[in-house]
Chain A
Amino acid sequence: MKKLACYFAILMFSVLIIATPSTNAQEKLTIAWAQWDPANYLDELSNDFTAETGIEVDLVQISWSNFQDSVFTAFVGKSDRYDIVIGDSQWLGRNSVGGHYVDLTDWINENIDVDAIYATAMEAFAEYPKGSGKYWALPAEVDANGFLYRTDLFEDADEQAKFKEKYGYELAPPKTYEELRDIAEFFTRPPNLYGIAPWYSKEYDGITMGFQQVMWSYGGSYGDPETYKVEGHINSDDVVAALEYYTSLRAFSPPDAPNYYWAETLDAFKAGKVAMAMDYFAFFPGVVDSNQNPNYYDKTGFFVSPAGPKGHAISIGGQGMSISAYSKNQDIAKRYLKWFMQKPVQEKWAQLGGFTPHEEVLQSEVFLNATPFNKAFAASFPYLRDFWAVPEYAELLEACQTGWNQVIIGSKSAKEALDDIARKHEAIFEDAGYYD
């Protein structure tokens, strides 16, 4: 009996320690992406790849709130769970320097027609360091920050007359940030209607993606990309003015606005709470869908993010496709990337609702007329700019998120917050050895 018990214990122990689930990764590709509509489109598109090659594609959709954590945790654990990761542009530095992404430079130069892809998209989603010609990804979904507006309000003759009387010009989708504020003020009629839903949230990169395009358009910048010096750039008078402007919009936004990111601005717009809302173009298919937006699907217009007094810049969204350095299916992954970048596939990708980086497809009449918002998206393209993509981006982002959100809620003045961010950013760069 004792012997039996002992053998049982040893058996259980062995099972616990050495048993690992067997996997059969043959001819199967696993792609990690966030849970949103474009991932559904890609899932559908990938059926064509399976039909052509017989290789099964498993698209793992991770909720946005867990997306970064899940992918980075897998990388830190050197897990081969994902073959392809469709990650944010800011991740490039960390994941290339950290050895998590496969260096695709030679392969891309040999296999992909880089000239067919928008240079802005290649630089933002594929290249690190910027201008080095080293590639770690291919652009998959190229997105931009855009605006929605209520056509029933903007096209109402009575509203138009009242607006002209008050502001001295015609009521139309704004071309400048000053006009945007006027219109937001005009439509602010609490508690049922507010002028605008901007991104103010402290979550992930919310307020940064909303504010940085205002900062650039007001003549500001994060810093010198050559020297990484920040002092005098991010806390310049231009940025102070931009932040004060962005904060002033709070008076014309719903009371919950300090918590708003893409999901909340979209909800506020669909609920008829706001006349205008900021959001990524990738979410606009849901806005014109009568099931998802029953009240305003046919009363929604779209416009390009406005220009500022010193320029015009728009926050880039979207993600690039990278191959995990820990994948055991790197050859299949490359085959998928090559297949995805073909013009006919890009055409179908755009047809399904994806935002293609393929220049010819993007400018084609078919694409421009496919949805009511594609023209505004294509018009946004020349103005796209991005946050720092260095390995320390998360720390830099954290300082911005907290500092800018503190200004919105009135805890700090714009100047105080920006000086603080400049100090923190320089400390981060110094710590990482950028000034050595």
Chain B
Amino acid sequence: MRTARFSRGFSDYQIKMAFIMPTMILLILMNIFPLLWSLYLSFHRYKASMPNRPAKFIGPQNYARLLTDPEIWGYFQTTAYFVVLAVITQFIIGFGLALLLNREFRYKGLVTTLILLPMMLSPVVVGLFWRFIFASDASGLVNYLLSPLFGGPIGWTTDPKIAMLAVVIVDTWMWSPFMMLISLAGLSAIPKYLYEAADVDRASQWFKFRWITLPLVSPLLLIALLFRTMDAFKMFDIVYVLTREGGPGIATETVSMNLYKLAFRNYNTGKACAMAYILLIIIVALSNIYVKHLNKVRGEA
């Protein structure tokens, strides 16, 4: 009987399952299980570096301690400050570049590729070479150029009032091209006849931008903003390298930087899991706001 069934071969459903199962199992092992396991650990006092000490259930204590710790709120404020400043700047520069590039000219392809280069580099490499560019003495290119104007070197990575600006500049240099790319895709998709119709009506440049370009490109802009916000909220690599673990002091210590220290320096695994969940909830909430707005914009369009 078994041999007979085997000889008939597998059904379409079984074949489908055979192809899907490896991915499903990997997904469960690599994503779902760690997600649930970290949720479990977030309610425990547990250090991964002490495997001989079992996890002790402490209820929501990790969450309570994190949410009542003024230093943690400080890291959230630093992160929020960075996200707002970086994403807005990248949006303005990226969209501006896209408007400039949304026309035909010689070497357009080459110029676009060159502008996209920073985005293709590793953030650690970017952090490292900007560390040299921002060096606070004459060996740093920026200070070499600006020192005569400001009467001395600027402490880009040593002055707590300026360090965040340095991080924003580097992140903007790296990610404005991404904003430009998405904006350019949106701008290219706008039908030319709309502008031609507006020209016939002798509409001003501002009118065309306000009533044709902006409404039609905004769904894509919102998607770009969503990606960048989520990514900026997780800012880690550039502050790790450029401002040396979120320095000077705690001037650029973002939530992710602190989370890394909690998890992999201090091995405060339970608390780190709780922190990761708080971060996850915030990112999901922010994404939902964007998505709702995106749906609204699409509806209007």
Contact = CB atoms under 8 A, between A and B. Distances in A.
Contact of B265 (A2, A16, A202, A398): A398
A203 interface: yes
Interface of B: 9-10, 14-15, 18-19, 21-22, 25-26, 47-52, 135-138, 153, 155, 157-160, 244-251, 261, 264-268
A391 B49 CA distance: 9
Contacts of B158: 255-259, 409
A78 interface: yes
Interface residues of A, number: 46
A98 B52 contact: yes
Interface string A137-157: 000000000000000000000
B244 A203 contact: yes
Most buried by B among A68, A202, A254, A408: A202
B50 A391 contact: yes
B247 A259 contact: yes
A402 B18 contact: no
Contacts of B247: 201-203, 258-259, 405, 409
B36 to A, nearest CB: 19
A405 B15 CA distance: 61
A135 to B, nearest CB: 19
Nearest to B248: A409
Interface stretch (A6-14, A110-118, A181-189): A6-14
Contacts of A375: none
B143 to A, nearest CB: 8
B249 A402 contact: yes
A412 to B, nearest CB: 8
Contacts of A409: 158-160, 247-249, 251
22 contacts: A3-B10, A6-B18, A76-B48, A98-B50, A202-B249, A203-B247, A255-B153, A256-B135, A256-B137, A259-B157, A259-B158, A259-B248, A273-B137, A394-B266, A394-B267, A406-B248, A409-B158, A409-B159, A409-B160, A409-B247, A411-B160, A412-B249
A131 interface: no
B249 A411 contact: yes
A10 B18 CA distance: 7
A2 B9 contact: yes
Interface in A86-115: 94, 97-100
A297 interface: no
Interface in A26-73: 68-69, 72-73
A191 B261 CA distance: 36
A388 to B, nearest CB: 13
B281 to A, nearest CB: 25
A406 B22 contact: no
A398 B261 contact: yes
Contact of B137 (A6, A255, A391): A255
- Nearest first, the 10 A-B pairs at minimum CB distance are A406-B249, A255-B136, A202-B247, A258-B158, A409-B248, A256-B136, A9-B18, A13-B22, A411-B249, A99-B52
A75 B137 contact: no
A405 B267 contact: no
